[in-house]
Amino acid sequence: MNIEEIMRYLPHRYPFLMIDRVVRLDPGKAATAIKNVTIDEPFFQGHFPGHPIMPGVLIAEALAQTGGLAFASAEENPNEETQFKLPILAKIEEMRFRSAVSPGDQLLLHAQVLRAYQSLAIVKVEAKVNDSTVAHGKIVLAKGP
């Protein structure tokens, strides 16, 4: 899934779209995406000067967007003319951050829908850099307006 296809399912745009490419998608069940972390990211200006580290909350957001794609992809043909409900992060559970993410890293984002209801999903998420887990946990997504 390329960036244009991703934007059909997620409303996020620069600078808040945290997924560059989807490498695996099992609609309604799981997704694997890539986020290329570059020094040009606007958050590196202040987090932290001289020692840039990607904020954990943005890693969690990238994971939530990946989970949102997994959950929302069960919908067929999402667009502005349908009653498509956007996946919104409702809760973060058991999130753990294992190591820092720096410019030049490539985040591999995994999301697996554990339980899905009509308007709610519980999703297991994990972020890796070079086969090493940097964050993992569970999130709850709700289909919003």
Q: Which of 12, 47, 51, 136 is catalytic?
A: 47
Q: What is the per-residue pLDDT across 80-119, written as a single tens digit (0 to 9) for each?
A: 544 557 889 999 999 999 999 999 999 999 999 999 998 8
Q: What is the per-residue pLDDT across 12-34, written as a single tens digit (0 to 9) for each?
A: 899 999 999 999 999 999 999 99
The structural domain count of the chain equals: 1
Is 110 one of the catalytic residues? no
What's the domain range around 51?
A: 3-143
Q: Is the pTM of this model over 0.75?
A: yes
Which CATH number do you get for residue 46? 3.10.129.10
Tell whether omega for the bond before 15 is within 30 degrees of 0, i.e. cis: yes
